[in-house]
Amino acid sequence: DNNLDEVVVVGYGTQKKATVTGAITEVKGQELVKSPVANLSNALAGRLPGLTTVQPNGQPGADATSFNIRGFGNALILIDGVPGSFNNIDASEIESITVLKDASANIYGFSAANGAVLVTTKKGVPGKTTIGYNGSYGLQSNTTYPKMLNAGQYTELYDEAVLNDQLVNNRLFAPTFSAD
Are 50 and 70 in contact by the 8 Å Cβ rule? The answer is yes
pTM assigned to the model: 0.57
Summarize pLDDT for 119-151 with one digit per residue, the tens: 888 888 888 888 878 777 778 888 888 889 999
CA distance 12 to 107: 7
How high is the pLDDT of residue 10?
Answer: 57
26-71 confidence digits (pLDDT tens): 777 777 777 777 677 777 777 777 777 777 777 776 777 777 777 7
Q: What angle do CA 5, 10, 13 make, to 5 degrees?
A: 85
* pLDDT of the residue at 173: 64
SS3 for 140? coil
Residue partners of 11: CB distance under 8 A and separation at least 6: 100, 104, 105, 107, 108, 116, 118
- What backbone torsions phi and psi does residue 150 show, to the nearest 5 degrees? -85, 175
